[in-house]
Chains A and B, each alone.
Chain A
């Protein structure tokens, strides 16, 4: 039998086969590359990050609440101490994940007894999860409570702090706005969920019993926020006929701010 051999196309065939092998190999490698991270526990890592973030925010809030509510002003290390404990405890709670949380304390301060008073704390955190290869995830935890008493100079606004201005008789009306800031990235959000229990009122150095004042809320277009009106009927003071009014606000996070205003008795 005679075998007819045609050798001229062989190299091209070999080249085509090589190209085919390369294409299959490259596609396999590409597939492996794009699906490599699919099998990591991403959902669990995200949950841990969420838990650490919300917990860090709470630690800053608790520290500020403790600092303000107990008049703990000399204890300036309370935030740092609590954050250090939180860092250690997250490592314990998530042992095996390689959690490494670090922080810098940015602020812990209060500015009280003004018409616009506030208390604030802030810290910046850096989170590493070594088991996931995550490093340098930064977040901040701003916490602020601000009370602004609206003065009578601010007429002709409808609501302001004043004496004898209501139709209920001789009454002292204190109008104020409460602002807060927390993890939600919105500057100085107006606080709308305060009730009477969240307020304490002092007139000329005497704290009023809860039954001696009332609180009402109004939405105000001028300020674009909710205004709290506090009504009370203190005795008219002797000359000089002025009231030194202090309003303490304790919000749902436990943070306290005391704002002062002087009201002149109008005749």
Chain B
């Protein structure tokens, strides 16, 4: 039996396969080095994560509610200053449900206030507290009276 062999097209096939592999590996290689561009709309900034964590940790230890409902603003400022990195400036405002500022005249902040006006990227974190049992004149008050905390953070 005579076998007809046509070897002229084989090199092309090998070339095509090699070319496809090169294209595939090129795409895979580029993907490993691709840096995803950050989007202020869809990506939570690092500062917001830090802010959320700090407020959550203080609340978990039942310190945050105590500071807010007892008006211990200096202690709250000190706690936030200790918990946040030193190069992060913050400004915390406390509101009741009607939008009235609770800590009026008692700023809870750290760093240069001008930074908050000039910086283009300010992280903002919202946190809600439902209430806190506390003693007043030998009577225990355990009322539902929520406070909304807005923590603004910026790198100094």
Contacts and interface: CB of A to CB of B under 8 A. Distances in A.
B31 interface: yes
Contact of B56 (A44, A50, A59, A253): A50
Contacts of A90: 128
B107 to A, nearest CB: 22
Nearest to A67: B142
A41 B60 CA distance: 23
Contacts of B20: 16-17, 19-20, 23
Given A12-B13, A16-B16, A17-B20, A254 B144 contact: no
B82 interface: no
A62 B128 CA distance: 15
Contact of B144 (A43, A86, A252): A86
Contact of A94 (B17, B126, B140): B126
A27 B26 CA distance: 12
A58 B65 contact: yes
Interface residues of A, number: 48
A250 B48 contact: no
Contacts, number: 130
B142 A62 contact: yes
Interface string A29-58: 001000100111111100100110011001
Contacts of A93: 126, 128, 146, 148
Contacts of A66: 142-143
Nearest to A63: B144
B39 interface: yes
Contacts of B128: 51, 55, 89-90, 93-94
Interface residues on B, range: 35 or more
Interface in B79-134: 97, 125-133
Contacts of B36: 35, 38-39
Interface stretch (A2-10, A167-175, A231-239): A2-10
17 contacts: A9-B9, A16-B16, A20-B16, A24-B23, A28-B27, A47-B53, A47-B56, A51-B128, A59-B144, A61-B133, A62-B133, A62-B142, A65-B140, A86-B130, A86-B144, A89-B146, A93-B146
Interface of A: 6, 8-10, 12-13, 16-17, 19-20, 23-24, 27-28, 31, 35, 38-44, 47, 50-51, 54-55, 58-59, 61-63, 65-66, 69, 82, 85-86, 89-90, 92-94, 250, 252-254
